[in-house]
Amino acid sequence: MVVCCHLELGQAQMQLKMEQPASTKTDWLTFPWSRHNKTNKVTYLAAGLHLKDEYSQVDISSFAGFESHPCRRVCQKGQTQSCYYQLVVHNYRRLGAECQRCQFDERACAGENCIYGDGISTPVMAVNRMVPGPAIELCENDTVVVDVLNYLSEPSTIHWHGVHMSRTPEMDGVAHVTQYPVQPGEVYRYEFQADRSGSLWYHSHEGWQRGFGVAGNLIVRQPHQANPHARLYDYDLVEHALMVQDIFYDNNIQQVRNILINGKGRNHLSQLPDQDPRHRYERLRVTPGYRYRMRVVLNGVFNCPVEFSIEQHKLLIISADGNDIEPVLADGFFLTAAERFDFVLEANQYAKNYWLRVRGYEQCQEQNLYQGAVLSYRGAARSELPLGSILERRQGRELDEPPTYINDFRFKLSINDSITLLRQANQTKETDVGTVSLRSVEPVPWPRYTKFLTHYSSLSMRQASNGEQLFQIDEISYNPPGISLLQGRHLYQDDGYFCNRSSLASQGRNCARELCECVHVIRLPAYRPIEMVVASYTDATHPIHLHGLTFRLVGQGVLGNLNDLRNIRQLDRQGRLSRLPDDYAAVAKDTVQVPGLGYVILRFISDNPGFWSYHCHIESHAVQGMTAVLKIGENYQIKSIPARVRC
């Protein structure tokens, strides 16, 4: 079988109908999404294709969701499948020309492939005419084959967020790190094994495409016997997987304008009350007496953490970033960009409609943004909305007791504290629980007293001489390389091609004083216990994501001043950073919030040699330099990939 193919559309055996170029103007300009426009080279004309920016000219009618895909099944032990998908990534419009009847009749929207959204017409980037894109449902260890057809007018890649890619490091979907970007008009085949279970997701890893809508759920289930939480719920339905997204209008990526839940929600430009029937909300249907597994991912591009809760209901939280935890009964949780929580909702309240509530903070709070969806009990009026406004707290359970949240955002309140905070649920009177105190159902995969190789890392901001605000890891702003690091690694000398804190120091560069901008690659040995202490020099929080790895979160706190953070290595030697006890089953995650003027401590075994992106998941921060690459292992330990140079 072909491991990786890179076909031009014209050669592909696809039912695609390309029409002649139009002379009509479109509002799709070439935007400087990336600071490094060399990746935005348009080559499709050379390939003899004339792609349309105007999506209506392109016949994509044969592409749809995967509701009846054969891989969507009850998972059985030992029965894995090969699962094929086509994802067409294309320009589209919220409330576009196809929305003839949908504007007046909600039932017509699906048939017209109309994205109604919040009722504001604005350009989006869709997957198979959907925003968010269609959910992919699989069983653990299935082989996934996805052809991505790039109908955008700019290059794209798809990252499979949470998949370890342990056998296929070249399928991780990061341009110029693990692959070359998929040019407009090209098809790119991703082929990998679903090497773990859980609530994962896929999204574009290029520019602002994720913010325009190129993202979807990737749900990997386990056989009943292997699922430690199988007895806690009766149903695990894809329609209860929620993607929460902060959005902008037109192409103004500077300003967050709304938060949508599965692409829907109230229109904040209108003065209509929340319960006005002209708003369109996502509806989750439940039957009284049953327990439902629900999944939430925040596809956030702004600095907009959200608080999630459901009116009159407790949530039994069972999974963080797709990793099973000891269940925590809470009133809700906070999410930062790219984090996920799964919970069990027991439909044990009076059968009516309830608000599912999402409240935005930071940039979203400045705009007073929040959103609702409807938890609709069988027997309640199907088209009616809950009474009252979305965020209103009502009599009964909600006012009787102080609420409990899984909440890392609480650090925001502690910014001026000069003490290290490491709160465990049983050591504090506060009802909120920090992510660091969650417990995995799996013990940590290393014995007590394991000696970890500690890498100290920092997150910071810097003003460039032209006034541009740059973001940094280890005081270096990332420049993408020309040769893809993984594919072309035999074509360059690491020391000449990469930079990192120690290589720059050996050249006499002082990145605390001068601007350092280069191909930032941090080298870590393979098959070793590794610890990363990541300190934030800014008072903003940063959700950092590691590709290719699941780490255990063993420390998280606020130091409160820059001086301490700059000397965090010394502070750590003095024992001033708290870590969980060695035998604590620390929570497993792939994305975590580094508190403002605070730190996190992550541990993992570096058993996945390759080039793995390490970056902030706030899009503007990542694009402006808060990105690096972890090179795990030496070249001989990394899987051989045929070298192909296209730069």
Q: Does 462 bind Cu ion (CB under 5 A)?
A: no
The answer to whether residues 552 and 603 touch, using CB atoms and an 8 Å cutoff, is yes
Which of residues 332 and 598 has its CB atom nearest to Cu ion in the complex? Answer: 598
Type of residue numbered 282: E
Q: Is 8 helix (H, G, I), strand (E, B) or coil?
A: strand
Which of residues 9 and 473 has its CB atom nearest to Cu ion in the complex? Answer: 473
Among 63-71, 218-226, 461-469, 540-548, which window interacts with Cu ion (CB under 5 A)? 540-548
Assigned token pair, 199? 């609530």
Binding to Cu ion, residues 210-229 (CB under 5 A): none
- Site size toward Cu ion (CB under 5 A) is 4
DSSP class of 499: B
Site string for Cu ion, 598-637 (x = CB under 5 A): ------------------x-x--x----------------
Could you tell me the smallest distance in angstroms from the CB atom of residue 78 to Cu ion?
43
Type of residue numbered 35: R
Could you tell me the smallest distance in angstroms from the CB atom of residue 538 to Cu ion?
8
Could you tell me the smallest distance in angstroms from the CB atom of residue 607 to Cu ion?
28
Q: How far is CA 332 from CA 60, 258, 397, 426, in A?
A: 39, 21, 14, 18
Query: What residues form DSSP beta bridges with 105?
Result: none
Q: Is 90 helix (H, G, I), strand (E, B) or coil?
A: strand
Could you tell me the smallest distance in angstroms from the CB atom of residue 473 to Cu ion?
10
Which of residues 9 and 534 has its CB atom nearest to Cu ion in the complex? Answer: 534
Which of residues 280 and 621 has its CB atom nearest to Cu ion in the complex? Answer: 621
Which of residues 357 and 542 has its CB atom nearest to Cu ion in the complex? Answer: 542
Q: Say if residue 271 is exposed, middle or buried (CB neighbours under 10 Å; 0-12, 13-18, 19+).
A: exposed
Which of residues 146 and 618 has its CB atom nearest to Cu ion in the complex? Answer: 618
Q: Say if residue 36 is exposed, middle or buried (CB neighbours under 10 Å; 0-12, 13-18, 19+).
A: middle
Which of residues 125 and 470 has its CB atom nearest to Cu ion in the complex? Answer: 470
Could you tell me the smallest distance in angstroms from the CB atom of residue 537 to Cu ion?
12
Could you tell me the smallest distance in angstroms from the CB atom of residue 523 to Cu ion?
23
Could you tell me the smallest distance in angstroms from the CB atom of residue 28 to Cu ion?
28
Type of residue numbered 23: S
Among 142-150, 165-173, 539-547, 581-589, which window interacts with Cu ion (CB under 5 A)? 539-547
Which of residues 580 and 626 has its CB atom nearest to Cu ion in the complex? Answer: 626
- How far, in Å, CA of 560 to CA of 500, rounded? 26
- How far, in Å, CA of 251 to CA of 299, rounded? 18
Among candidate residues 144, 2, 13, the one with its CA nearest the CA of residue 66: 144
The answer to whether residues 231 and 352 touch, using CB atoms and an 8 Å cutoff, is no
Q: How far is CA 240 from CA 162, 291, 309, 341, in A?
A: 20, 12, 14, 12
Could you tell me the smallest distance in angstroms from the CB atom of residue 471 to Cu ion?
6
Q: Does 588 bind Cu ion (CB under 5 A)?
A: no
Which of residues 8 and 539 has its CB atom nearest to Cu ion in the complex? Answer: 539
DSSP H helices in 266-401: 363-366, 397-400
Strands 136-139 and 215-221, sheet pairing: parallel
Could you tell me the smallest distance in angstroms from the CB atom of residue 149 to Cu ion?
31
Assigned token pair, 175? 């341009």
Strands 588-589 and 551-558, sheet pairing: antiparallel
The answer to whether residues 580 and 587 touch, using CB atoms and an 8 Å cutoff, is no
Binding to Cu ion, residues 124-163 (CB under 5 A): none
Could you tell me the smallest distance in angstroms from the CB atom of residue 621 to Cu ion?
3
Could you tell me the smallest distance in angstroms from the CB atom of residue 374 to Cu ion?
33
- How far, in Å, CA of 120 to CA of 278, rounded? 13
Among 73-81, 155-163, 407-415, 534-542, which window interacts with Cu ion (CB under 5 A)? 534-542
- How far, in Å, CA of 608 to CA of 618, rounded? 25
Binding to Cu ion, residues 102-121 (CB under 5 A): none
Which of residues 357 and 621 has its CB atom nearest to Cu ion in the complex? Answer: 621
Site string for Cu ion, 290-329 (x = CB under 5 A): ----------------------------------------
Which of residues 198 and 543 has its CB atom nearest to Cu ion in the complex? Answer: 543
* DSSP H or E run through 246: strand 235-247
Could you tell me the smallest distance in angstroms from the CB atom of residue 630 to Cu ion?
17
Which of residues 196 and 542 has its CB atom nearest to Cu ion in the complex? Answer: 542
Q: Does 542 bind Cu ion (CB under 5 A)?
A: yes
Could you tell me the smallest distance in angstroms from the CB atom of residue 613 to Cu ion?
14
Could you tell me the smallest distance in angstroms from the CB atom of residue 428 to Cu ion?
27
Among 254-262, 319-327, 501-509, 537-545, which window interacts with Cu ion (CB under 5 A)? 537-545
Could you tell me the smallest distance in angstroms from the CB atom of residue 543 to Cu ion?
7
Burial track 429-448 (b if 16+ CB lie within 10 A, e otherwise) = eeebbbbbbbbbeeebeeee
DSSP class of 98: T
- How far, in Å, CA of 202 to CA of 243, rounded? 11
Edge-to-edge strand order for the sheet containing 235-247?
Answer: 258-261, 235-247, 291-299, 340-346, 315-320, 323-330
Site string for Cu ion, 490-529 (x = CB under 5 A): ----------------------------------------
Which of residues 605 and 618 has its CB atom nearest to Cu ion in the complex? Answer: 618
In the Cβ-directed half-sphere of 333, how many Cα atoms lie within 13 Å? Answer: 26
DSSP string, 572-629: HHTT-S----TTS-BPEESEEEE-TTEEEEEEEE--S-EEEEEEESSHHHHHTT-EEE
Which of residues 248 and 292 has its CB atom nearest to Cu ion in the complex? Answer: 248
Which of residues 294 and 618 has its CB atom nearest to Cu ion in the complex? Answer: 618
Which parts of this chain interact with Cu ion (CB under 5 A)?
542, 616, 618, 621
